[in-house]
């Protein structure tokens, strides 16, 4: 069960990579399996494959307001999270103090931090627990063990991760196209207004 009968408790206003004491809690192993097979990107994963993946995860319980990831983090970020219960806010910085933009609110069945477990690169967004959150954490070391010992389940997992990342990339491209269209429309409006103002000024000079 790999610790699924207990939960690592992480306190409010702490970072998830500094967990507190282990407390007894609810066994959500089968719920995690259900989420992987029914809701997460790898929804076509077989039950036994999902159980193998879940058993490679570390169960963690975090309190509301806990920072899970911080945008730009490049150290200790080689893990991903399967949200089992609760909600997480993903946001990115605009470069102005207090002007962070909320990207999405993430709920049960969602995977976050996949890029970190694959390449260990800097986090692309900050993620904070809105409510108390229960989740399964898969480290890159656990993933490598999974690949060595259960290659079929690991391959299904990697296909699912690729699908999730691809879906997000397509959505980002769609949003970029929308932003580009809106920008062009605004520029056309500004050009038209500038042309009108110029004609008004020219008529006053006559």
Average pLDDT over the chain reads 80
Helix (H, G, I), strand (E, B) or coil at 15: strand
What is the Cα 168 distance to its own chain's centre?
10
Q: pLDDT tens digit string along 91-105? A: 988 766 666 788 889
Of 32 and 10, which is predicted with more confidence? 32
Of these ranges, 31-35, 131-135, 166-170, the one predicted with the greatest mean pLDDT is 131-135
- 180 vs 105, which has greater pLDDT? 105
Query: Residue 12 pLDDT > 50, yes or no?
Result: no
Rounded-to-integer distance, Cα 52 and Cα 61, Å: 21
Average pLDDT estimate for 11-17: 48
Angle at 100 between CA 16 and CA 13, to 5 degrees: 25
Query: Is residue 157 pLDDT above 80, yes or no?
Result: yes
Q: Can you give the pLDDT at residue 14? A: 47
The fourth-level CATH superfamily of domain 6-168 is: Jelly Rolls (2.60.120.10)
In the chain, where are the structural domains located?
A: 6-168
Look at residues 53, 64, 70 and name the one whose alpha carbon lies nearest to residue 17.
70
Q: Quick one: CA torsion of 8, 49, 138, 154, rounded to 10 degrees?
A: 160
């Amino acid at each position: 069960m790999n610790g699924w009968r207990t939960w690592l408790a992480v306190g409010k206003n702490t970072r998830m990579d500094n967990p507190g004491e282990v407390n007894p809690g609810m066994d959500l192993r089968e719920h995690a399996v259900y989420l992987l097979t029914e809701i997460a990107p790898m929804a076509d994963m077989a039950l036994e494959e999902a159980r193998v993946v879940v058993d490679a995860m570390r169960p963690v319980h975090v309190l509301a307001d806990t920072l899970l990831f911080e945008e730009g983090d490049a150290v200790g970020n080689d893990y991903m999270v399967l949200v089992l219960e609760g909600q997480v806010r993903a946001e990115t910085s605009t470069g102005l103090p207090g002007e962070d933009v909320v990207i999405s609110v993430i709920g049960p069945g969602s995977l976050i931090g996949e890029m970190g477990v694959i390449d260990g690169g800097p986090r692309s967004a900050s993620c904070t627990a809105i409510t108390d959150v229960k989740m399964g954490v898969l480290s890159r070391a656990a993933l490598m063990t999974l690949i060595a010992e259960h290659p079929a389940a690991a391959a299904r997992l990697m296909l699912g991760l690729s699908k999730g990342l691809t879906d997000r990339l397509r959505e980002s491209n769609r949003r970029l196209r929308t932003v580009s269209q809106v920008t062009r429309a605004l520029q056309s409006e500004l050009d038209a207004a500038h042309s009108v103002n110029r004609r008004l000024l020219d008529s006053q000079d006559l």
